[in-house]
């Protein structure tokens, strides 16, 4: 096995205009060309817009399986799940009024007017599309997020919109759960691994995954996990360790070194993955490597092993997560 870094959870930028999309494609080609031989990635899809940018990577993988270490995932992030409808009988306004909430009716309707027609979720998760990917993600639940004034997050010069531009509109938690459960069932039906986002709802996330996935063979990755150590122990006590993974990022998990070290110490080595959670087209290859190196160093120190051993273990875990 050739030593290489692992980015188990990364992204491409979300852009809706043609010029912006062309720029992302160009940046993406440059980024992947520069790291093809020494980084294995699982690139998440979070919405219909970034999926259109990721589809060419699937073709690249099909043409050259030994080429750039790219594994494409298909998902609906909770921040974008309002863009998908489960009831085809609803009009655009009916759908958004059903899945969005805000005490300010005027603000809600102003935001709805800017939103695109919703995407039918069942059609989006077609057999043809799902059969081409190696993972379902990014999916999950988020009780904190508020929608931006334009209706959904898009990239702005390589970064997300500032939090000051967020509205008071939120996605109904019941809608998030419906979308999340639908995607988990797709993963279960296909035997695909899942990469999960969970913010301020760790208990609900665990309960849903236990109900739907415990009796399956689906591998689970809890990305940039921010739950308590008690929640870690809950997951480890209920799911087979060979199917359970926690991907650790520098900018979220190691922002506080002490808490990051405690998380790593609580995890069996066989359950640890590394990630950047960044947009690979907008963050330099050097910075991405530095992020992954920092997590490897933290793993090495937390478990008292060499950096080489940490790197080899993470790569083995990654291959097991994706069943490669």
Q: Tell the burial category of 66 from Cβ atoms under 10 Å away from its Cβ (0-12, 13-18, 19+).
A: exposed
User: In a 3-state reduction of DSSP, which class is residue 154?
Assistant: coil
Assess contact for 209 and 244: CB atoms under 8 A.
Answer: no
DSSP states of 123-171: HHT-HHHHTT-SEEEEEEEESS---BTTSS--EETTEEPPGGGB-S-EE
Assess contact for 182 and 142: CB atoms under 8 A.
Answer: no
Both structure tokens of 273: 């993955």
Q: Is 223 annotated as a binding residue?
A: yes
* H or E stretch covering 155: strand 155-156
Residue 294: half-sphere exposure toward Cβ, Cα within 13 Å: 19
Q: Tell the burial category of 4 from Cβ atoms under 10 Å away from its Cβ (0-12, 13-18, 19+).
A: middle
| CA dihedral sign, ordered 100, 104, 106, 110 | negative
CA atoms of 69 and 17, how far apart (whole Å):
28
DSSP states of 249-275: EHHHHTSSHHHHHHHHHHS-GGGEEEE
Q: Is 128 annotated as a binding residue?
A: no
- Strand 100-101 versus strand 170-171 pairing type: antiparallel
Q: Is 277 annotated as a binding residue?
A: yes
Q: Is 197 annotated as a binding residue?
A: yes
Q: Please state the residue numbers annotated as binding site for a divalent metal cation.
A: 138, 197, 223, 277
Q: Please state the residue numbers annotated as binding site.
A: 138, 197, 223, 277
């Amino acid at each position: 096995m050739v030593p290489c870094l692992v980015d188990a959870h990364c992204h491409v930028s979300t852009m809706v205009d043609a010029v912006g999309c062309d720029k992302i494609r160009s940046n993406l080609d440059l980024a992947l060309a520069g790291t093809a031989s020494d980084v294995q990635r699982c690139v998440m899809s979070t919405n219909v817009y970034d999926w259109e940018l990721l589809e060419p990577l699937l073709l690249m993988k099909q043409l050259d399986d030994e080429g750039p270490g790219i594994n494409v995932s298909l998902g609906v992030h909770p921040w974008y799940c309002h863009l998908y409808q489960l009831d085809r009988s609803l009009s655009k306004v009916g759908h958004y009024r059903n899945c969005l909430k805000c005490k300010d009716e005027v603000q809600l309707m102003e935001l709805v007017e800017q939103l695109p027609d919703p995407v039918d979720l069942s059609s989006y998760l077609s057999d043809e599309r799902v059969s081409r990917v190696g993972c379902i993600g990014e999916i999950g639940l988020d009780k904190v997020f508020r929608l931006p004034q334009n209706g959904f997050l898009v990239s702005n010069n390589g970064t997300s919109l500032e939090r000051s531009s967020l509205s008071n509109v939120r996605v109904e938690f019941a809608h998030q759960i419906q979308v999340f459960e639908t995607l988990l069932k797709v993963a279960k039906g296909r035997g695909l691994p899942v990469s999960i986002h969970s913010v301020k709802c760790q208990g609900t996330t665990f309960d849903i995954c236990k109900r739907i996935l415990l009796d399956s063979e689906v591998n689970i990755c809890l990305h940039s996990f921010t739950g308590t150590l008690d929640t870690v122990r809950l997951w480890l006590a209920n799911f087979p360790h060979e199917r359970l993974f926690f991907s650790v990022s520098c900018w979220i998990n190691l922002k506080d070194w002490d808490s990051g070290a405690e998380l790593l110490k609580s995890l069996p080595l066989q359950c640890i993955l590394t990630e950047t959670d960044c947009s690979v087209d907008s963050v330099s290859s050097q910075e991405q490597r530095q992020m992954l190196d920092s997590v490897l160093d933290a793993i090495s120190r937390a478990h008292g092993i060499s950096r080489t051993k940490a790197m080899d273990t993470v790569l083995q875990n990654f291959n097991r997560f994706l069943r490669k």
